[in-house]
Amino acid sequence: MGSKRTRVSRNLGQRVTPAAIEYFREALPLQDKYFRCTHGGKIICRLKAHCDDCARYLELSCQLQLELLLKPWDTNPLNVDAENPYAEDSSAARSWRAAVKLRMELEKIK
C-alpha cells in the first residue's frame, strides 16, 4: 500500500543575501575581461593558467552560485545577460528564467 505524500510548502528564506550581492557586484566588472580572455580572438587564458582577474571572476562566480543555493546544473545569474538560447519547454529554459529573475533581484539591490 502506497502512501499519499503531500508537498510541504517551505520558505527557504531570502536567497539574495548581502554576501551574494557583494559577489555579484565584484564579479560584474571582471566579466568582460574573462570573456575576452577565454572566448575572444586572443584566447589568452586557455593556453596557460588563468590570469589573476579571470581566476578571481571564476572564484566569485562559484561563490555566488553557492550563496544563492543553486545546484551545479542551474544557470548562474552572471550568465544571463542575453536571450534565452534554449527550447522554451526545456528544463534548461526554466533554469534560465529563474536565473534571470535572480539577476533582476541582484541588479535591483545593486
Q: What is the mean pLDDT of the chain?
A: 82
Q: Where are the domains of the chain?
A: 18-74+82-109
Supply the pLDDT for residue 14.
Answer: 58
Say how many C-beta atoms besides its own lie within 10 A of residue 15's C-beta. 14
Distance (Å, whole) CA 49 – CA 7 = 46
For residues 89-100, average pLDDT = 86
Supply the pLDDT for residue 59.
Answer: 94
Q: Are 90 and 99 in contact (CB under 8 A)?
A: no
How far, in whole angstroms, is CA 81 from its chain's centroid? 11
- Reading phi first (left if > 0) and then psi (alpha if -120 to 50, else beta), residue 69 is in left
Distance (Å, whole) CA 40 – CA 100 = 24
Distance (Å, whole) CA 55 – CA 22 = 17
